[in-house]
Amino acid sequence: MKERKFEDIYDVVKLIPEGRVTTYGAIARYLGSSPRLVGWALNSRTDILIPAHRVVNRNGLLTGKMHFATATLMQELLEQEGIKIENDKVVDFQRKLWDPEIELKL
């Protein structure tokens, strides 16, 4: 795979099914890169259509909500998919967690 890590990140994020969330670290580990690349990729490439609202940090906290059009947009989108948000945090986060390493199994 000669694709850049960026392309891989977008590809993985796009593969996230509705009602599921993933973490920066999970994607980074799956791609063999560092979590910063994931967050930085989304922030620099917001022009690309990707369900970035399904990507949260290790604690299930919506850290990147501030980067969306509105601080509540991320929460609304997640709730729209059936994910409950409480205090800017994903409820049953571990259960809704979608890890590429587990789901894609390499």
Report the interface residues with DNA, using CB under 7 A: 4-6, 23-25, 28, 33-40, 42-44, 46, 52, 55, 57-59, 63-64, 66-68
Measured between alpha carbons, how far apart are the two ends of the chain, in Å? 13
Nearer to DNA, 15 or 37 (CB): 37
Least separation in angstroms between residue 26's CB and DNA is 8
Nearer to DNA, 17 or 44 (CB): 44
Nearer to DNA, 47 or 86 (CB): 47
Decide: 51 and 16 in contact? Cβ < 8 Å.
yes
Least separation in angstroms between residue 31's CB and DNA is 9
Matching residue, tokens 């791609």: 31
- Could you tell me the two tokens for 94? 């571990």
Matching residue, tokens 């909500």: 65
**Is residue 10 within a helix (H) or strand (E), and if so which, with residue range?**
helix 5-14
Nearest to 62 by CA among 54, 70, 50: 54
Nearer to DNA, 40 or 72 (CB): 40
Least separation in angstroms between residue 5's CB and DNA is 6
